[in-house]
Structure 1
Amino acid sequence: MRTKFDEQLNQLNQELMHMGTMIEEQIQKAVVAFMKQDTELARIIMDNDTDVDREEKKIENICFNLLMQQQPVARDLRTISAAMKMVTDMERIGDHAADISEMTILIADNTYVKQLDHIQKMASETVQMLMKSIQAYVDKDMEAAKAIIKNDDVIDELFLEVKKDLIAMIHANADCGEQATDLLMVAKYFERIGDHATNIAEWVIFALDDKNREG
């Protein structure tokens, strides 16, 4: 029975990695679509969000089967609980990729009124955080997870820079107000992605702490 349980636990890890790859690609494509104002790509990203949702349900079913199959030990419970929390954050990151794509379509008819350096930097940092948080789970690397959590401050600071720039832009030209608001919303989505990547890293630590104590 334990052998079957371990096989399903391994399947859970593989599916989490697969979902992580899916949402990494969604975010990276959303960044490209946003920067290039590529509405066709943006629509593809929005359509693909249903694939992420299906993967979330698949992982949840594996978790429930693991919990029902036999009485898991404390370490197993923490691993499964962490996986269920992680997949929720992953699904929300996928939603934000779709949200960014929707905003891309909304403002595609107007040339951006300012350079998007800070937003692009935010996008790059959040993708890196996401990739590293999933890799920390795969590698069972607590130190890497802790470093990711610290990096969230970088995202927050970049968001404040974007906000400051856009407010200054509105003051200089009130006609830019609508687009500035839209760009701020996109920056906010990237900030939220950083928050969810941080959550994933925190759940990695949650699972690994238990393993260390029971070691």
Structure 2
Amino acid sequence: MQTRRFFNEELQKLKLDVEELAEDTKVVLGTAVDALYNSDLTTAENIIANDYVYNEKEQRINDAAMIMIAKQQPVASDLRRLIIAIKISTDLERMADHGKNIAKATLFLGDDHPISIHPSIKEMMKIAIEMVDIAIKGYHLEDISFARLLAQKDDQVDNLYGQVTKDLLELTATNPDQIQYIMQTAYTSRYIERFADHITNIGESILYLVKGVSYDLNE
């Protein structure tokens, strides 16, 4: 009985660590996009310099989950909880990487570039952050209804990404001398689109956690 209580406490701590890393990704994305619009090179440099923090958090989550699997040899839903913690933390670390990539684009553009950042990039960021909130809640409650909402939000991000890409391609045709700057903003929209895709992966992980069956939310 004592062993079971200890296992449950460790499982809960692991879950909280995953949720904390998810909150971190919201901050990274929001801060990176704000720095992009404000040409804030100092903030962009700080985002890049601090990327190791999220790598270390992911590693701690993975190590803790593997130790619990080795020591406790859990089965059924408990085993799924540990496996999903590993899968979700991997997606979260990659999401933080996309924030870092946006910061790199900001540094490339510099503080005196000749173009305006497409307004829909900020809208993509807002939806992606909403998706993180939905995913965290679904994971915390182990409620698949939240996971299903993610597919709808991801479609919104994809649609905005398509429009941004189209607009920027048209802009390169009339401003060939600015193509290197324009392409950096195009890359940024792609990073946010990929960020949202990873959240959809988390939704699929939640569905697997609850149902024990793999689903594709993009179908």
CA contact (8 A) 2:40 2:111 kept: no
How big is each residue's C-alpha offset from its partner over 1:113-161, in whole Å with a ceiling of 9 and x where there is no partner?
A: 2352111111111111122212211122210111112221111111110
| 1:26 paired residue among 12, 18, 28 | 28
Which position in structure 2 is the counterpart of 1:154? Answer: 156
How big is each residue's C-alpha offset from its partner over 1:172-209, in whole Å with a ceiling of 9 and x where there is no partner?
A: 22112111111111111001001001111110111011
Q: Work out the CA distance in 2 between the residues paired with 1:30 and 1:149.
A: 24
Tell me by how many angstroms 1:112 deviates: 4.9
Q: Work out the CA distance in 1 between the residues paired with 2:73 and 2:192.
A: 40
Q: Work out the CA distance in 2 between the residues paired with 1:20 and 1:136.
A: 12
Superposition pairs of residues 115-194 of structure 1, within 5 angstroms: 115-194=117-196
Q: Work out the CA distance in 2 between the residues paired with 1:110 and 1:164.
A: 24
Q: CA RMSD in A?
A: 1.5
Q: Work out the CA distance in 1 between the residues paired with 2:34 and 2:116.
A: 17
Which position in structure 1 is the counterpart of 2:216? Answer: none
The 10-residue stretch of structure 1 (154-163 or 132-141) with the greater mean CA deviation from structure 2: 132-141
Query: Do structure 1's residue 11 and structure 2's residue 16 form an aligned pair?
Result: no
Query: Do structure 1's residue 107 and structure 2's residue 109 form an aligned pair?
Result: yes
CA contact (8 A) 2:158 2:193 kept: yes
Q: Secondary structure at the match of 2:73?
A: coil
Q: Work out the CA distance in 2 between the residues paired with 1:155 and 1:58.
A: 31
Structure 2: state its 5+ residue gaps.
214-219
Tell me by how many angstroms 1:101 deviates: 0.4
**TM-score (norm. length: structure 1):** 0.93
Amino acid at match of 1:170: T
Amino acid at match of 2:166: K
Give % identity: 28
CA contact (8 A) 2:124 2:192 kept: yes
CA contact (8 A) 1:149 1:202 kept: no
CA contact (8 A) 2:17 2:61 kept: yes
Q: Work out the CA distance in 2 between the residues paired with 1:115 and 1:64.
A: 43
Amino acid at match of 1:158: L
Q: Work out the CA distance in 1 between the residues paired with 2:114 and 2:207.
A: 40
Q: Work out the CA distance in 2 between the residues paired with 1:114 and 1:167.
A: 14
Amino acid at match of 2:12: N
Which position in structure 1 is the counterpart of 2:48? Answer: 46
